[in-house]
């Protein structure tokens, strides 16, 4: 024995599946549909995670069909893998512009790279920025009572560290 017999069965010797390859498979499947790719992750030992969504809500059937499409393009005899296709969690940060588009009109929390956190209604998105509408209540300068101040704030995408949907509980 030269020490290599049986070594090909070790996970260290398995061929790594690339994120780019999986991404191309997903893009081919979703082309011409409302489905959009959020993220592809390949974890150690070929654990493949694919996150997709739609402007409304993605169906389990769509995820199942995409999973079958990906599996058909991979050979389990050559590449042992685990595959999971799902929508991103509702509490996960936004990763792509289509997620911002999906949640226009909803409450979001935006953490900027400078540490400033803004909470407001997502009013819109352009190629390089989002707009959120914030509301604050302040004491009136004259007289008694409080007044609501509405402000629309433009935030460039490159200054956003993280944006999350605020769940209305």
- Residue 4 pLDDT exceeds 50: no
Tokens of 158: 């490159």
pLDDT at 25: 96
CB atoms within 10 A of CB 53: 21
Which of 160, 72, 152, 148 lies closest to 115, judged by CA?
160
Give 107 or 148, the one with higher predicted confidence. 107
pLDDT at 154: 97
CB atoms within 10 A of CB 117: 10
Instruction: Give the mean pLDDT of 22-28.
Output: 96
Residues 118-134: tens digit of each pLDDT: 999 999 999 999 999 99
Contacting residues for 58 by C-beta, under 8 A, at least 6 apart:
35, 52, 87
- Opening angle at CA 52, ends 92 and 34, nearest 5: 125
pLDDT at 116: 96
Instruction: Give the mean pLDDT of 160-167.
Output: 96
| Reported confidence tier of residue 90, pLDDT bands at 50, 70, 90 | confident
Residues 47-71: tens digit of each pLDDT: 999 999 999 889 999 999 999 999 9
Tokens of 117: 């956190």
Q: Which domains does the chain have, with CATH numbers?
A: 15-86 (3.30.300.70), 97-165 (2.30.30.100)
pLDDT at 86: 96
| Reported confidence tier of residue 46, pLDDT bands at 50, 70, 90 | confident
pLDDT at 16: 65
The mean of the pLDDT values for the chain is 88
């Amino acid at each position: 024995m030269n020490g290599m017999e049986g070594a090909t069965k070790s996970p260290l010797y398995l061929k790594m599946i690339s994120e780019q390859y999986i991404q191309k498979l997903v893009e081919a499947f979703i082309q011409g549909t409302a489905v959009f790719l959020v993220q592809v992750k390949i974890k150690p030992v070929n654990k493949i995670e694919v996150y997709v969504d739609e402007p409304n809500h993605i169906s389990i059937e769509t995820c199942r069909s995409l999973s079958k499409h990906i599996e058909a393009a991979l050979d389990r005899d050559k590449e042992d893998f685990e595959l999971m296709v799902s929508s991103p969690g509702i509490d996960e940060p936004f990763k792509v512009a289509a997620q911002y588009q999906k949640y226009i009109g909803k409450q979001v929390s935006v953490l900027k790279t400078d540490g400033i956190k803004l909470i407001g209604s997502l009013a819109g998105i352009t190629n390089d920025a989002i707009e959120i509408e914030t509301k604050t209540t302040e004491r009136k300068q004259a007289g008694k009572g409080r007044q609501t101040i509405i402000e629309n704030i433009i935030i460039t995408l490159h200054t956003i560290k993280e944006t999350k949907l605020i769940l209305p509980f």
